[in-house]
Structure 1
Amino acid sequence: MEKFNRFNYFRNRDKHFANLISIIDGIICDGCVNSQEILYLDTWLLNANEISDNFCFKSIRRRISDVLADETIDSTELNEIKKDLIIIQKNLLELPYLHLNSIESDRHLFEGLCKGILSDKELNDSEIKYLKWFLSKNDNLKKNYPGKIIYDIVKYILQDSIVTEEEREFLRKTLISFTGCDIESGVVDGFATQLPIDIINKFEASGKTVCLTGEFIYGKRSVCEQEIIRQGANVIGNVTKKLDYLIVGTMSSKNWRYTSHGRKIEKAVHYRDEKGIPLKIINEEQWQDFSYSN
Protein backbone atom coordinates (compact mmCIF):
# COMPACT_ATOMS: atom_id res chain seq x y z
CA MET A 1 0.00 0.00 0.00
CA GLU A 2 2.84 2.39 0.83
CA LYS A 3 4.43 1.73 -2.56
CA PHE A 4 1.06 2.39 -4.25
CA ASN A 5 0.61 5.64 -2.32
CA ARG A 6 4.10 6.80 -3.33
CA PHE A 7 3.33 6.00 -6.95
CA ASN A 8 0.11 8.02 -6.75
CA TYR A 9 1.93 10.89 -5.07
CA PHE A 10 4.55 11.17 -7.81
CA ARG A 11 1.98 10.71 -10.58
CA ASN A 12 -0.25 13.41 -9.11
CA ARG A 13 2.73 15.69 -8.57
CA ASP A 14 3.83 15.38 -12.20
CA LYS A 15 0.23 15.81 -13.35
CA HIS A 16 0.00 19.13 -11.51
CA PHE A 17 3.38 20.34 -12.76
CA ALA A 18 2.43 19.61 -16.38
CA ASN A 19 -0.94 21.29 -15.87
CA LEU A 20 0.75 24.38 -14.41
CA ILE A 21 3.26 24.64 -17.27
CA SER A 22 0.46 24.71 -19.81
CA ILE A 23 -1.93 26.82 -17.74
CA ILE A 24 0.77 29.48 -18.01
CA ASP A 25 1.00 28.72 -21.73
CA GLY A 26 -2.76 29.21 -22.12
CA ILE A 27 -2.64 32.48 -20.20
CA ILE A 28 0.16 34.04 -22.24
CA CYS A 29 -0.50 32.47 -25.68
CA ASP A 30 -2.42 35.54 -26.93
CA GLY A 31 0.45 37.82 -25.96
CA CYS A 32 -1.10 39.50 -22.93
CA VAL A 33 -2.13 38.80 -19.35
CA ASN A 34 -5.18 40.23 -17.61
CA SER A 35 -6.35 40.40 -14.00
CA GLN A 36 -8.94 37.61 -14.42
CA GLU A 37 -6.19 35.22 -15.52
CA ILE A 38 -4.03 36.13 -12.53
CA LEU A 39 -6.92 35.57 -10.13
CA TYR A 40 -7.65 32.20 -11.75
CA LEU A 41 -4.00 31.13 -11.45
CA ASP A 42 -3.89 32.20 -7.81
CA THR A 43 -7.01 30.16 -7.02
CA TRP A 44 -5.73 27.11 -8.91
CA LEU A 45 -2.44 27.22 -7.01
CA LEU A 46 -4.29 27.25 -3.69
CA ASN A 47 -5.64 23.79 -4.55
CA ALA A 48 -2.42 22.30 -5.93
CA ASN A 49 -1.10 20.91 -2.65
CA GLU A 50 1.03 18.23 -4.31
CA ILE A 51 3.47 20.83 -5.63
CA SER A 52 3.19 23.51 -2.94
CA ASP A 53 6.72 22.89 -1.64
CA ASN A 54 8.33 23.56 -5.03
CA PHE A 55 10.35 26.76 -5.40
CA CYS A 56 8.63 27.69 -8.70
CA PHE A 57 5.24 27.30 -7.05
CA LYS A 58 6.33 29.50 -4.15
CA SER A 59 7.74 32.11 -6.56
CA ILE A 60 4.43 32.41 -8.40
CA ARG A 61 2.40 32.61 -5.20
CA ARG A 62 4.70 35.28 -3.78
CA ARG A 63 4.64 37.30 -6.99
CA ILE A 64 0.86 37.18 -7.26
CA SER A 65 0.52 38.05 -3.57
CA ASP A 66 2.67 41.14 -4.13
CA VAL A 67 0.56 42.21 -7.10
CA LEU A 68 -2.72 41.70 -5.24
CA ALA A 69 -1.56 43.38 -2.04
CA ASP A 70 -3.17 46.74 -2.88
CA GLU A 71 -6.26 45.05 -4.40
CA THR A 72 -5.61 46.61 -7.82
CA ILE A 73 -3.61 45.37 -10.80
CA ASP A 74 -2.36 47.97 -13.27
CA SER A 75 -0.94 47.43 -16.77
CA THR A 76 2.67 47.75 -15.58
CA GLU A 77 2.17 44.98 -13.02
CA LEU A 78 0.50 42.78 -15.63
CA ASN A 79 3.43 43.21 -18.02
CA GLU A 80 5.90 42.42 -15.25
CA ILE A 81 4.03 39.33 -14.09
CA LYS A 82 3.84 38.10 -17.68
CA LYS A 83 7.63 38.23 -17.83
CA ASP A 84 7.83 36.44 -14.49
CA LEU A 85 5.48 33.68 -15.68
CA ILE A 86 7.64 33.06 -18.75
CA ILE A 87 10.73 32.70 -16.56
CA ILE A 88 8.93 30.48 -14.04
CA GLN A 89 7.55 28.29 -16.84
CA LYS A 90 11.10 27.85 -18.18
CA ASN A 91 12.29 26.83 -14.70
CA LEU A 92 9.46 24.31 -14.41
CA LEU A 93 10.40 22.78 -17.75
CA GLU A 94 13.95 22.31 -16.47
CA LEU A 95 13.00 20.41 -13.30
CA PRO A 96 15.35 17.37 -13.38
CA TYR A 97 12.73 14.86 -12.16
CA LEU A 98 9.93 15.97 -14.47
CA HIS A 99 9.60 14.01 -17.72
CA LEU A 100 7.37 15.48 -20.42
CA ASN A 101 8.04 13.10 -23.30
CA SER A 102 5.16 10.64 -22.93
CA ILE A 103 1.60 10.33 -24.21
CA GLU A 104 0.39 10.82 -20.65
CA SER A 105 2.31 14.07 -20.16
CA ASP A 106 1.01 15.34 -23.52
CA ARG A 107 -2.53 14.86 -22.20
CA HIS A 108 -1.67 16.71 -18.98
CA LEU A 109 -0.19 19.59 -20.96
CA PHE A 110 -3.26 19.71 -23.18
CA GLU A 111 -5.59 19.85 -20.16
CA GLY A 112 -3.54 22.67 -18.67
CA LEU A 113 -3.53 24.65 -21.91
CA CYS A 114 -7.33 24.47 -22.14
CA LYS A 115 -7.66 25.63 -18.51
CA GLY A 116 -5.31 28.55 -19.11
CA ILE A 117 -7.22 29.57 -22.23
CA LEU A 118 -10.49 29.47 -20.27
CA SER A 119 -9.09 31.33 -17.28
CA ASP A 120 -10.49 34.77 -18.16
CA LYS A 121 -13.87 33.40 -19.35
CA GLU A 122 -13.10 34.66 -22.87
CA LEU A 123 -11.90 32.88 -26.00
CA ASN A 124 -10.23 35.08 -28.60
CA ASP A 125 -9.03 34.25 -32.12
CA SER A 126 -5.37 34.07 -31.11
CA GLU A 127 -6.15 31.47 -28.46
CA ILE A 128 -8.20 29.38 -30.89
CA LYS A 129 -5.38 29.46 -33.45
CA TYR A 130 -2.84 28.53 -30.79
CA LEU A 131 -5.02 25.63 -29.69
CA LYS A 132 -5.10 24.35 -33.28
CA TRP A 133 -1.32 24.70 -33.59
CA PHE A 134 -0.75 22.86 -30.30
CA LEU A 135 -2.93 19.93 -31.37
CA SER A 136 -1.70 19.82 -34.97
CA LYS A 137 1.91 19.23 -33.90
CA ASN A 138 1.00 16.15 -31.83
CA ASP A 139 -0.46 13.21 -33.78
CA ASN A 140 -1.45 11.28 -30.67
CA LEU A 141 -3.48 14.17 -29.28
CA LYS A 142 -5.26 15.09 -32.51
CA LYS A 143 -6.10 11.50 -33.48
CA ASN A 144 -7.39 10.20 -30.14
CA TYR A 145 -9.94 11.10 -27.49
CA PRO A 146 -10.31 13.78 -26.22
CA GLY A 147 -7.98 15.83 -28.42
CA LYS A 148 -9.56 14.58 -31.65
CA ILE A 149 -12.97 16.01 -30.71
CA ILE A 150 -11.56 19.45 -29.96
CA TYR A 151 -9.16 19.42 -32.93
CA ASP A 152 -12.01 18.65 -35.34
CA ILE A 153 -14.08 21.50 -33.89
CA VAL A 154 -11.18 23.98 -34.10
CA LYS A 155 -10.36 22.95 -37.67
CA TYR A 156 -13.98 23.45 -38.70
CA ILE A 157 -14.17 26.85 -37.00
CA LEU A 158 -10.99 28.11 -38.65
CA GLN A 159 -11.55 26.68 -42.12
CA ASP A 160 -13.05 29.93 -43.43
CA SER A 161 -10.74 32.14 -41.29
CA ILE A 162 -13.82 33.69 -39.64
CA VAL A 163 -14.84 32.85 -36.09
CA THR A 164 -18.50 33.60 -35.43
CA GLU A 165 -19.73 34.24 -31.90
CA GLU A 166 -21.79 31.05 -32.05
CA GLU A 167 -18.67 29.03 -32.97
CA ARG A 168 -16.65 30.75 -30.26
CA GLU A 169 -19.24 29.97 -27.60
CA PHE A 170 -19.63 26.36 -28.75
CA LEU A 171 -15.88 25.80 -28.48
CA ARG A 172 -15.74 27.51 -25.09
CA LYS A 173 -18.48 25.24 -23.74
CA THR A 174 -16.73 22.21 -25.21
CA LEU A 175 -13.51 23.16 -23.40
CA ILE A 176 -15.45 23.58 -20.15
CA SER A 177 -17.04 20.15 -20.65
CA PHE A 178 -13.62 18.61 -21.28
CA THR A 179 -11.68 20.21 -18.43
CA GLY A 180 -14.29 20.43 -15.68
CA CYS A 181 -13.15 24.04 -15.34
CA ASP A 182 -16.31 26.17 -15.13
CA ILE A 183 -15.16 29.53 -13.80
CA GLU A 184 -18.60 31.09 -14.17
CA SER A 185 -19.84 28.54 -11.63
CA GLY A 186 -16.89 29.31 -9.36
CA VAL A 187 -14.98 26.10 -10.18
CA VAL A 188 -11.36 26.40 -11.37
CA ASP A 189 -10.77 22.65 -11.29
CA GLY A 190 -12.31 19.49 -9.90
CA PHE A 191 -15.41 18.73 -11.96
CA ALA A 192 -15.37 15.50 -13.93
CA THR A 193 -15.37 15.80 -17.72
CA GLN A 194 -18.76 16.06 -19.40
CA LEU A 195 -17.38 15.76 -22.93
CA PRO A 196 -18.31 12.10 -23.58
CA ILE A 197 -21.67 12.15 -21.77
CA ASP A 198 -24.59 10.68 -23.75
CA ILE A 199 -27.98 12.34 -23.96
CA ILE A 200 -30.53 9.80 -22.72
CA ASN A 201 -34.32 9.77 -22.41
CA LYS A 202 -34.44 7.29 -19.55
CA PHE A 203 -32.23 5.26 -17.22
CA GLU A 204 -33.24 1.65 -16.79
CA ALA A 205 -31.27 0.01 -14.00
CA SER A 206 -33.18 -3.27 -13.73
CA GLY A 207 -31.20 -6.13 -15.22
CA LYS A 208 -28.42 -3.80 -16.46
CA THR A 209 -24.69 -3.89 -15.81
CA VAL A 210 -23.35 -0.64 -14.35
CA CYS A 211 -19.90 0.72 -13.48
CA LEU A 212 -19.11 3.88 -11.51
CA THR A 213 -16.18 6.29 -11.72
CA GLY A 214 -15.29 9.60 -10.06
CA GLU A 215 -16.52 11.14 -6.82
CA PHE A 216 -20.27 11.40 -6.20
CA ILE A 217 -22.15 14.18 -4.44
CA TYR A 218 -24.83 11.58 -3.61
CA GLY A 219 -22.39 9.86 -1.25
CA LYS A 220 -19.48 7.47 -1.04
CA ARG A 221 -18.99 5.03 -3.91
CA SER A 222 -20.25 2.15 -1.75
CA VAL A 223 -23.45 4.05 -0.96
CA CYS A 224 -24.06 4.78 -4.67
CA GLU A 225 -23.42 1.15 -5.57
CA GLN A 226 -25.91 -0.08 -2.99
CA GLU A 227 -28.55 2.32 -4.31
CA ILE A 228 -28.02 1.15 -7.90
CA ILE A 229 -28.17 -2.48 -6.78
CA ARG A 230 -31.44 -1.67 -5.00
CA GLN A 231 -32.71 -0.37 -8.34
CA GLY A 232 -32.04 -3.80 -9.83
CA ALA A 233 -28.68 -3.39 -11.56
CA ASN A 234 -25.51 -5.44 -11.38
CA VAL A 235 -22.57 -3.23 -10.37
CA ILE A 236 -19.06 -4.13 -11.56
CA GLY A 237 -15.69 -2.51 -10.86
CA ASN A 238 -14.30 -2.20 -14.37
CA VAL A 239 -15.42 -1.26 -17.88
CA THR A 240 -16.08 -4.36 -20.01
CA LYS A 241 -17.77 -5.04 -23.33
CA LYS A 242 -20.84 -6.25 -21.43
CA LEU A 243 -21.34 -2.88 -19.73
CA ASP A 244 -24.65 -1.05 -20.20
CA TYR A 245 -23.90 2.16 -18.27
CA LEU A 246 -20.82 3.98 -17.00
CA ILE A 247 -21.96 6.58 -14.46
CA VAL A 248 -19.52 9.47 -13.96
CA GLY A 249 -19.61 11.24 -10.59
CA THR A 250 -19.90 15.02 -10.52
CA MET A 251 -16.41 15.50 -9.10
CA SER A 252 -13.16 14.19 -10.52
CA SER A 253 -11.15 11.67 -8.55
CA LYS A 254 -7.84 12.83 -7.12
CA ASN A 255 -6.16 9.67 -8.35
CA TRP A 256 -7.53 9.71 -11.89
CA ARG A 257 -4.74 9.49 -14.43
CA TYR A 258 -5.80 12.90 -15.77
CA THR A 259 -7.37 15.73 -13.84
CA SER A 260 -10.83 15.54 -15.42
CA HIS A 261 -11.04 11.88 -16.48
CA GLY A 262 -9.52 8.47 -15.93
CA ARG A 263 -8.98 5.15 -17.68
CA LYS A 264 -12.55 3.91 -17.20
CA ILE A 265 -13.92 6.87 -19.16
CA GLU A 266 -11.31 6.45 -21.91
CA LYS A 267 -12.04 2.74 -22.19
CA ALA A 268 -15.79 3.32 -22.31
CA VAL A 269 -15.38 5.95 -25.04
CA HIS A 270 -13.20 3.52 -27.01
CA TYR A 271 -15.76 0.71 -26.75
CA ARG A 272 -18.65 3.02 -27.61
CA ASP A 273 -17.08 5.07 -30.41
CA GLU A 274 -14.53 2.68 -31.92
CA LYS A 275 -16.03 -0.76 -31.28
CA GLY A 276 -19.70 0.13 -31.64
CA ILE A 277 -20.66 -1.35 -28.27
CA PRO A 278 -24.03 0.16 -27.23
CA LEU A 279 -23.02 1.26 -23.74
CA LYS A 280 -24.08 4.66 -22.39
CA ILE A 281 -21.86 7.11 -20.53
CA ILE A 282 -24.01 9.21 -18.22
CA ASN A 283 -23.33 11.60 -15.37
CA GLU A 284 -24.47 11.60 -11.77
CA GLU A 285 -27.15 14.21 -12.44
CA GLN A 286 -28.78 12.05 -15.13
CA TRP A 287 -28.70 8.99 -12.88
CA GLN A 288 -30.39 10.91 -10.07
CA ASP A 289 -32.91 12.72 -12.26
CA PHE A 290 -34.16 9.57 -13.97
CA SER A 291 -34.05 7.50 -10.78
CA TYR A 292 -36.35 9.92 -8.98
CA SER A 293 -38.65 10.33 -11.99
CA ASN A 294 -39.28 6.58 -12.30
Structure 2
Amino acid sequence: MDLHQEFEKSRFFNSARMDRRAADALSGLAAGIVSDGVVTLDEAKFLQSWLDANLVHLDDPVINLLYQRLGLMLQDGALDDDEAADLLSILRKFGGLELAKANAKPTFAASNDLPLCSPAPALEWSGRVFVFTGTMAFGPRKECQKLVEERGGLIGGGVNKKTHYLVIGSVGNEQWRHSSYGLKIMRAVELREAGVPIAIVSEGSWQQAMFGL
Protein backbone atom coordinates (compact mmCIF):
# COMPACT_ATOMS: atom_id res chain seq x y z
CA MET A 1 0.00 0.00 0.00
CA ASP A 2 1.65 3.20 -1.16
CA LEU A 3 0.56 5.98 1.12
CA HIS A 4 2.47 8.60 -0.84
CA GLN A 5 0.59 7.97 -4.07
CA GLU A 6 -2.66 7.77 -2.16
CA PHE A 7 -2.06 11.26 -0.79
CA GLU A 8 -1.29 12.63 -4.24
CA LYS A 9 -4.47 11.16 -5.73
CA SER A 10 -6.65 12.06 -2.79
CA ARG A 11 -9.69 14.28 -3.03
CA PHE A 12 -8.65 15.45 0.42
CA PHE A 13 -6.11 17.75 -1.24
CA ASN A 14 -8.39 19.02 -3.99
CA SER A 15 -10.47 21.86 -2.59
CA ALA A 16 -12.53 22.05 -5.78
CA ARG A 17 -13.91 18.57 -5.17
CA MET A 18 -14.68 18.44 -1.50
CA ASP A 19 -16.07 20.30 1.46
CA ARG A 20 -13.26 22.61 2.56
CA ARG A 21 -14.84 22.99 5.97
CA ALA A 22 -14.58 19.26 6.58
CA ALA A 23 -10.95 19.24 5.47
CA ASP A 24 -10.12 22.19 7.70
CA ALA A 25 -11.95 20.52 10.58
CA LEU A 26 -9.92 17.33 10.21
CA SER A 27 -6.67 19.28 10.02
CA GLY A 28 -7.60 21.24 13.12
CA LEU A 29 -8.71 18.11 14.94
CA ALA A 30 -5.47 16.32 14.08
CA ALA A 31 -3.39 19.32 15.16
CA GLY A 32 -5.22 19.43 18.48
CA ILE A 33 -4.74 15.72 19.16
CA VAL A 34 -0.98 15.80 18.47
CA SER A 35 -0.32 19.12 20.19
CA ASP A 36 0.85 17.41 23.39
CA GLY A 37 2.95 14.83 21.54
CA VAL A 38 0.83 11.81 22.49
CA VAL A 39 -2.34 10.11 21.26
CA THR A 40 -4.53 8.53 23.91
CA LEU A 41 -7.05 5.73 23.52
CA ASP A 42 -9.95 8.13 24.11
CA GLU A 43 -8.62 10.49 21.44
CA ALA A 44 -8.26 7.64 18.94
CA LYS A 45 -11.83 6.47 19.64
CA PHE A 46 -13.14 10.00 19.29
CA LEU A 47 -11.33 10.45 15.97
CA GLN A 48 -12.71 7.16 14.69
CA SER A 49 -16.26 8.22 15.59
CA TRP A 50 -15.75 11.67 14.08
CA LEU A 51 -14.50 10.24 10.78
CA ASP A 52 -17.39 7.81 10.71
CA ALA A 53 -19.87 10.65 11.12
CA ASN A 54 -18.23 13.30 8.95
CA LEU A 55 -15.79 12.09 6.31
CA VAL A 56 -15.96 8.36 5.69
CA HIS A 57 -18.75 8.95 3.17
CA LEU A 58 -16.30 10.71 0.84
CA ASP A 59 -14.85 7.38 -0.30
CA ASP A 60 -11.44 9.05 -0.31
CA PRO A 61 -8.31 6.85 -0.25
CA VAL A 62 -6.53 8.92 2.41
CA ILE A 63 -9.56 9.14 4.67
CA ASN A 64 -10.25 5.45 4.17
CA LEU A 65 -6.63 4.57 5.00
CA LEU A 66 -6.75 6.54 8.23
CA TYR A 67 -10.15 5.06 9.09
CA GLN A 68 -8.98 1.51 8.37
CA ARG A 69 -5.81 1.98 10.40
CA LEU A 70 -7.86 3.23 13.33
CA GLY A 71 -10.16 0.22 13.02
CA LEU A 72 -7.24 -2.21 13.10
CA MET A 73 -5.57 -0.42 16.00
CA LEU A 74 -8.75 -0.31 18.09
CA GLN A 75 -10.18 -3.73 17.31
CA ASP A 76 -8.82 -5.08 20.58
CA GLY A 77 -10.12 -2.09 22.53
CA ALA A 78 -6.62 -0.87 23.33
CA LEU A 79 -3.91 1.35 21.86
CA ASP A 80 -0.37 0.16 22.57
CA ASP A 81 2.74 2.31 22.43
CA ASP A 82 3.68 1.35 18.85
CA GLU A 83 0.15 1.97 17.57
CA ALA A 84 0.02 5.32 19.36
CA ALA A 85 3.35 6.33 17.80
CA ASP A 86 2.19 5.34 14.31
CA LEU A 87 -1.06 7.24 14.73
CA LEU A 88 0.81 10.28 16.04
CA SER A 89 3.03 10.28 12.96
CA ILE A 90 0.07 10.05 10.58
CA LEU A 91 -1.95 12.75 12.35
CA ARG A 92 1.00 15.14 12.40
CA LYS A 93 0.85 15.10 8.62
CA PHE A 94 -2.84 16.00 8.59
CA GLY A 95 -2.32 18.69 11.19
CA GLY A 96 0.51 20.27 9.21
CA LEU A 97 -1.40 20.77 5.98
CA GLU A 98 -1.72 24.27 4.53
CA LEU A 99 -5.10 23.74 2.93
CA ALA A 100 -5.80 27.42 2.56
CA LYS A 101 -3.17 27.68 -0.17
CA ALA A 102 -4.71 26.66 -3.47
CA ASN A 103 -1.42 25.53 -4.93
CA ALA A 104 0.00 23.93 -1.82
CA LYS A 105 1.30 20.42 -2.28
CA PRO A 106 1.56 17.85 0.52
CA THR A 107 5.09 17.17 1.65
CA PHE A 108 4.84 13.51 2.46
CA ALA A 109 8.15 12.23 1.13
CA ALA A 110 10.24 9.48 2.50
CA SER A 111 13.44 10.63 4.10
CA ASN A 112 16.13 11.10 1.48
CA ASP A 113 19.14 11.20 3.80
CA LEU A 114 18.49 8.15 5.92
CA PRO A 115 21.64 6.19 6.87
CA LEU A 116 20.51 3.05 5.06
CA CYS A 117 22.94 0.27 4.28
CA SER A 118 24.11 0.50 0.69
CA PRO A 119 23.79 -1.79 -1.06
CA ALA A 120 20.80 -3.11 0.82
CA PRO A 121 21.64 -6.47 2.42
CA ALA A 122 19.79 -9.69 1.74
CA LEU A 123 17.42 -10.22 4.62
CA GLU A 124 17.39 -13.47 6.55
CA TRP A 125 14.53 -14.46 8.81
CA SER A 126 15.14 -17.45 11.06
CA GLY A 127 16.36 -16.34 14.48
CA ARG A 128 17.05 -12.79 13.27
CA VAL A 129 15.92 -9.89 15.43
CA PHE A 130 13.94 -7.14 13.68
CA VAL A 131 13.06 -3.73 15.07
CA PHE A 132 10.60 -1.44 13.27
CA THR A 133 10.47 2.32 13.52
CA GLY A 134 8.45 5.01 11.80
CA THR A 135 5.13 4.44 10.05
CA MET A 136 4.93 1.54 7.63
CA ALA A 137 3.01 2.25 4.43
CA PHE A 138 2.28 -1.49 4.16
CA GLY A 139 0.09 -1.48 7.24
CA PRO A 140 0.04 -1.37 11.04
CA ARG A 141 3.30 -2.30 12.68
CA LYS A 142 1.72 -5.31 14.39
CA GLU A 143 0.89 -6.80 11.01
CA CYS A 144 4.45 -6.26 9.77
CA GLN A 145 5.85 -7.88 12.89
CA LYS A 146 3.49 -10.82 12.50
CA LEU A 147 4.79 -11.47 8.98
CA VAL A 148 8.37 -11.54 10.28
CA GLU A 149 7.46 -13.94 13.07
CA GLU A 150 5.65 -16.24 10.62
CA ARG A 151 8.98 -16.59 8.80
CA GLY A 152 10.89 -17.44 11.95
CA GLY A 153 12.13 -13.97 12.77
CA LEU A 154 12.09 -12.32 16.19
CA ILE A 155 10.84 -8.87 17.17
CA GLY A 156 12.97 -6.63 19.34
CA GLY A 157 11.58 -3.94 21.59
CA GLY A 158 14.48 -1.57 21.06
CA VAL A 159 17.74 -1.19 19.20
CA ASN A 160 20.67 -2.93 20.88
CA LYS A 161 23.61 -5.22 20.13
CA LYS A 162 21.26 -8.16 19.57
CA THR A 163 19.36 -6.35 16.80
CA HIS A 164 20.05 -7.63 13.29
CA TYR A 165 17.78 -5.31 11.27
CA LEU A 166 16.25 -1.89 11.86
CA VAL A 167 13.44 -1.41 9.35
CA ILE A 168 12.41 2.21 8.72
CA GLY A 169 8.83 2.85 7.63
CA SER A 170 8.53 4.67 4.32
CA VAL A 171 6.06 7.25 5.61
CA GLY A 172 8.88 9.38 6.90
CA ASN A 173 9.85 12.92 7.72
CA GLU A 174 12.82 14.46 5.94
CA GLN A 175 13.89 15.88 9.29
CA TRP A 176 14.15 12.39 10.77
CA ARG A 177 16.75 13.39 13.33
CA HIS A 178 14.11 15.48 15.10
CA SER A 179 11.28 13.00 14.68
CA SER A 180 9.82 10.63 17.24
CA TYR A 181 11.70 7.69 15.72
CA GLY A 182 15.05 9.40 15.16
CA LEU A 183 16.52 8.04 18.39
CA LYS A 184 16.29 4.44 17.19
CA ILE A 185 17.99 5.35 13.95
CA MET A 186 20.78 7.24 15.68
CA ARG A 187 21.31 4.38 18.12
CA ALA A 188 21.57 1.94 15.21
CA VAL A 189 24.11 4.19 13.49
CA GLU A 190 26.19 4.36 16.68
CA LEU A 191 26.21 0.57 16.98
CA ARG A 192 27.03 0.09 13.33
CA GLU A 193 29.95 2.50 13.56
CA ALA A 194 31.18 0.63 16.63
CA GLY A 195 31.37 -2.55 14.60
CA VAL A 196 28.06 -4.17 15.56
CA PRO A 197 26.65 -6.02 12.50
CA ILE A 198 23.29 -4.23 12.49
CA ALA A 199 21.66 -3.42 9.15
CA ILE A 200 19.51 -0.33 8.64
CA VAL A 201 17.05 -1.01 5.83
CA SER A 202 14.12 0.75 4.22
CA GLU A 203 10.58 -0.51 4.17
CA GLY A 204 11.00 -0.95 0.43
CA SER A 205 13.85 -3.41 0.95
CA TRP A 206 11.84 -5.21 3.62
CA GLN A 207 8.83 -5.52 1.32
CA GLN A 208 11.00 -6.76 -1.54
CA ALA A 209 12.52 -9.45 0.67
CA MET A 210 9.14 -10.33 2.14
CA PHE A 211 7.09 -10.48 -1.04
CA GLY A 212 9.66 -10.52 -3.85
CA LEU A 213 8.27 -7.28 -5.27
Q: TM-score normalised to the size of structure 1?
A: 0.36
